[in-house]
Protein backbone atom coordinates (compact mmCIF):
# COMPACT_ATOMS: atom_id res chain seq x y z
CA UNK A 1 0.00 0.00 0.00
CA UNK A 2 1.21 3.49 -0.72
CA UNK A 3 2.79 5.23 2.25
CA UNK A 4 0.66 8.36 1.95
CA UNK A 5 -2.53 6.28 2.17
CA UNK A 6 -1.27 4.51 5.30
CA UNK A 7 -0.14 7.83 6.80
CA UNK A 8 -3.51 9.45 6.12
CA UNK A 9 -5.47 6.51 7.50
CA UNK A 10 -3.36 6.41 10.68
CA UNK A 11 -3.82 10.15 11.21
CA UNK A 12 -7.58 9.91 10.71
CA UNK A 13 -7.69 6.90 13.04
CA UNK A 14 -5.84 8.80 15.75
CA UNK A 15 -8.27 11.71 15.41
CA UNK A 16 -11.35 9.48 15.53
CA UNK A 17 -10.07 7.55 18.56
CA UNK A 18 -9.30 10.73 20.51
CA UNK A 19 -12.60 12.30 19.47
CA UNK A 20 -14.56 9.24 20.63
CA UNK A 21 -12.73 9.23 23.96
CA UNK A 22 -13.32 12.94 24.51
CA UNK A 23 -16.99 12.64 23.56
CA UNK A 24 -17.36 9.88 26.15
CA UNK A 25 -15.63 11.99 28.79
CA UNK A 26 -17.21 15.37 28.01
CA UNK A 27 -20.58 14.36 26.62
CA UNK A 28 -22.18 15.12 23.27
CA UNK A 29 -23.14 18.69 24.21
CA UNK A 30 -19.42 19.60 24.09
CA UNK A 31 -18.81 18.05 20.66
CA UNK A 32 -17.15 21.18 19.26
CA UNK A 33 -14.64 21.40 22.11
CA UNK A 34 -13.95 17.67 21.76
CA UNK A 35 -13.42 18.07 17.99
CA UNK A 36 -11.00 20.98 18.39
CA UNK A 37 -9.08 19.24 21.18
CA UNK A 38 -8.97 15.97 19.21
CA UNK A 39 -7.63 17.77 16.13
CA UNK A 40 -4.89 19.50 18.12
CA UNK A 41 -3.91 16.30 19.93
CA UNK A 42 -3.93 14.28 16.70
CA UNK A 43 -1.64 16.79 15.00
CA UNK A 44 0.78 16.72 17.92
CA UNK A 45 0.79 12.93 18.16
CA UNK A 46 1.24 12.48 14.42
CA UNK A 47 4.07 15.00 14.36
CA UNK A 48 5.89 13.28 17.21
CA UNK A 49 5.12 9.61 16.58
CA UNK A 50 4.68 9.20 12.82
CA UNK A 51 8.02 10.52 11.57
CA UNK A 52 8.89 7.39 9.56
CA UNK A 53 5.48 7.24 7.88
CA UNK A 54 5.55 10.96 7.09
CA UNK A 55 9.04 10.68 5.59
CA UNK A 56 8.08 7.64 3.51
CA UNK A 57 4.97 9.42 2.23
CA UNK A 58 6.95 12.52 1.32
CA UNK A 59 9.58 10.45 -0.48
CA UNK A 60 6.95 8.59 -2.49
CA UNK A 61 5.21 11.80 -3.49
CA UNK A 62 8.54 13.40 -4.47
CA UNK A 63 9.48 10.33 -6.52
CA UNK A 64 6.13 10.41 -8.31
CA UNK A 65 6.60 14.11 -9.04
CA UNK A 66 10.13 13.51 -10.36
CA UNK A 67 8.99 10.59 -12.51
CA UNK A 68 6.32 12.75 -14.07
CA UNK A 69 8.98 15.21 -15.15
CA UNK A 70 9.12 18.95 -15.10
CA UNK A 71 6.26 20.81 -16.70
CA UNK A 72 6.47 23.91 -18.87
CA UNK A 73 6.21 26.20 -15.84
CA UNK A 74 9.08 24.51 -14.03
CA UNK A 75 11.30 24.53 -17.14
CA UNK A 76 10.57 28.24 -17.73
CA UNK A 77 11.48 29.09 -14.13
CA UNK A 78 14.74 27.12 -14.29
CA UNK A 79 16.08 28.99 -17.33
CA UNK A 80 18.85 31.42 -16.43
- The reply to whether 62 falls in a domain is yes
Residue 76 CB-density burial (10 A; 0-12 exposed, 13-18 middle, 19+ buried) = exposed
pTM of the complete model: 0.76
- The reply to whether 75 falls in a domain is no
- The reply to whether 50 falls in a domain is yes
- The reply to whether 80 falls in a domain is no
CB atoms within 10 A of CB 6: 14
22 lies in which domain range? 3-69
Number of domains forming the structure of the chain = 1
Q: Of 15-19, 64-68, 74-78, which gets the smallest average pLDDT?
A: 74-78
* pLDDT tens, position by position, 1-51: 688 899 999 999 999 999 999 999 999 999 999 999 999 999 999 999 999
Amino acid sequence: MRAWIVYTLVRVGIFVAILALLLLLLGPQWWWIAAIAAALMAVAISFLALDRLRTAAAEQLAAARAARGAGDDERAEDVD
